[in-house]
Amino acid sequence: MDEFLTVALSFPTLPYSIVLAFAVLYWLLAAFGVVDDGIAHDGLDLHLGDDGLHGISGMFARLGLGGAPVMLVIALLAFFGWTVTYFVHLFLLQPLPTPVRWLAGSVTALLALLLAVPLSVAVLRPIRRLLLRLRPVPQASLLGRVGVVASPQVTATVGHANVDDGGAGLILQVRSQDGSVLIRGDRVVLLDYLADHNHYLVVRENAHPALSIQDSLIAGDKEIHR
């Protein structure tokens, strides 16, 4: 154990030990929901609002390490770099004089990073496919669609409606936008979605300006053809 700590906490293994420890701590915090794991983001990457991290993400993509959370890539690079450096340090560098060990250690640390890149790419290949399957399929916006009131009434505080989505249909929580009372069977238009309250704001179909104009044009066209 003493020899392990001596090698792990001395150059050239120490830099990789620090990065690896940070990565492990990060993923432990992510497992408990303290920090974002980045998997749910579009592109499967962490977007932390920092130009430096965006630059790192772009560099990883050019190396074939894109399509996965940045911290996962860093963890893999640190793990493989640490593994290579640790065993070279343990079996080859320890007996060397200090100046030679520092020089050889610097070269070892650089070569370990270069070797860690293709190894990480190979490991990320199946992980990337798994993450793509786990990513939620984006849903098309329902705004502007017409639904039918299914509850006894829809007011500013209660109600639901059926909306045809091309499949089995959707039952959505809806609220009257203008405060009017809509009754079962009324056709309504979805105008806005309030994510905080998980419901849509609706108006009666014939009260929607765009649809009213459209209906008028259709009616006028029918009169012309008569």
Q: What percent of the chain has pLDDT over 70?
A: 79
The answer to whether the predicted template modeling score (pTM) of the entire model surpasses 0.85 is no
Indicate the length of the chain as a whole number. Answer: 226
Q: Would you tell me how many other CB atoms lie within 10 Å of the CB of residue 79?
A: 19
pLDDT interval class at 143 (50, 70, 90): confident
- Tell me the two tokens of residue 69: 């959370």
Residue-level pLDDT at 166: 75
Q: Which residue has the higher pLDDT, 135 or 122?
A: 122
Residue-level pLDDT at 116: 96
Residue-level pLDDT at 195: 82
Residue-level pLDDT at 222: 45
Q: Average pLDDT of the chain?
A: 81
Q: Which residues contact 142 (CB under 8 A, 6 or more apart)?
A: 163, 165, 170, 172, 190, 193, 200
Statement: residue 224 has pLDDT above 90: no
HEC states along the chain? CHHHHHHHCCCCHHHHHHHHHHHHHHHHHHHCCCCCCCCCCHHHCCCCCCHHHHHHHHHHHHCCCCCCCHHHHHHHHHHHHHHHHHHHHHHHHCCCCHHHHHHHHHHHHHHHHHHHHHHHHHHHHHHHHHHHHHCCCCCCCCCCCEEEECCCEECCCCCEEEECCCCCCEEEEEEECCCCCEECCCEEEEEEEECCCCEEEEEEHHHCHHHHHHHHHHHHHHHHHC
User: Rounded to whole angstroms, how far apart are CA atoms 39 and 199?
Assistant: 27
Per-residue pLDDT tens for 114-125? 999 999 999 999
Which candidate, 79, 69, 60, 71, places its Cα nearest to that of 20?
A: 79
Residue-level pLDDT at 153: 93
The mean pLDDT value for 59-64 works out to 84
Q: Is 120 exposed, middle or buried (0-12, 13-18, 19+ CB in 10 A)?
A: buried
Q: Which residues contact 47 (CB under 8 A, 6 or more apart)?
A: 41, 54
Per-residue pLDDT tens for 153-201? 999 999 999 998 777 788 899 999 888 899 999 999 999 998 888 899 9
Do 206 and 215 contact (CB within 8 A), yes or no? yes
| CA–CA–CA angle 52, 40, 142 (5° rounding) | 120
| CA–CA–CA angle 144, 140, 172 (5° rounding) | 60
